[in-house]
Amino acid sequence: MKYILNSILSKAYWRYIFSLDGLKSILAIFGIIWLIIETLDFFQVYTRDKYGAYAFFIFIVISILISILLKRPIKSISIPFPELDFIIEVRIADLFDISGATMISTNTVFEADVAGNKIAVDSLQGQFTAKYFTGNQIELIKKINEELQQLGSTSPFPFGTTIPIHTHGKTFYFTAMAELGEGGNASSSISEIQSALNGLWNYVRKKGELIELAVPIIGTGRGRVKISRKKMIALIAESFMKATIQGKFSDKLIIAIRPEDAQNFGINLYDIKDHLNHVLK
């Protein structure tokens, strides 16, 4: 409810309402109203001589109000691909509240020491550790090392290297998508993000289950990739679609947006849906 109220009060929401696409919606609704009025006049149910002096302006206001009602703030949008039998959903939600398997972005050395300040507490990996391995990160590190030992290679691992962590009845895919600098800061690039996604898709196709897959908007936070969240969402969705064409591995991709990010960066899901339809179809 808080997100919806903040969305209505945001400049981004009203910019979208009165954007080119928003104006097209208003004019389309006005056209429907005018067609109804013309039909009523043709059958002499409500003739032109009964119109008020300001009827035109009243119809415009009604069109705007209906458009706003139809474009009210929402928390998720879905784009189905029936010919490929999968759905891409963009949802404003806590990543950990989403069912199915979940991607956790990590670094190429799979560093997981939150207590020692090598991984930021407020990073996605830090939040994961706090939620599922509270006060017991040693157990998480043990699980990570056991999975890494099966790879037969050494650190640092290639971008896209993925290992599963099973806990609390869920599967989390730790995927290498950033390098750690000398100061412990993570960094990545567009090409490295793409490699990370390809590695995740390939792993899930070979060793995962055909279930919903939730992915955060990676790289835009601590990954320090200079790209808007809207474009990163499109990059993730396009990468998933291309990989699915090669071989299906999930019925549904859910791209999760943190509610705080949606508010702070003025994210409008209608705008994102329009963008995805343009990019993907």
> Which CATH number is 211's domain given?
3.40.220.10
Q: Are residues 137 and 30 in the same domain?
A: no
Q: Tell me, what's the pLDDT at 268?
A: 85
Q: Are residues 144 and 230 in the same domain?
A: yes
Bridge partner list, 86: 81
Q: Are residues 105 and 159 in the same domain?
A: yes
Q: Residue 50: is its pLDDT beyond 70?
A: no
Task: Print the SS3 string covering 105-169.
Answer: EEECCCCCCCCCCCCCCCCHHHHHHHHHCCCCHHHHHHHHHHHHHCCCCCCCCCCCCEEEEEECC
- Residue ending a domain, among 18, 50, 70, is 70
Q: Give pLDDT tens digits for 124-170.
A: 999 999 999 998 999 999 999 999 999 988 899 999 999 999 999 99
Q: Are residues 100 and 56 in the same domain?
A: no
User: Which pair of structure tokens corresponds to residue 28?
Assistant: 């389309």
Q: Are residues 161 and 199 in the same domain?
A: yes
DSSP state of 97: G
Q: Are residues 254 and 202 in the same domain?
A: yes
Q: Are residues 93 and 205 in the same domain?
A: yes
For residue 87, what are the domain limits? 76-280
* Average confidence (pLDDT) over 75-82: 94
Q: Are residues 150 and 190 in the same domain?
A: yes
Q: Are residues 191 and 114 in the same domain?
A: yes
Helix residue ranges per DSSP H, the chain: 2-9, 11-17, 20-42, 55-70, 124-132, 137-149, 190-207, 229-246, 259-264, 269-280
- CA 94 vs. chain centroid, Å, equals 11
Least confidently predicted of 129-138, 159-168, 189-198, 263-272: 263-272
Q: Are residues 249 and 229 in the same domain?
A: yes
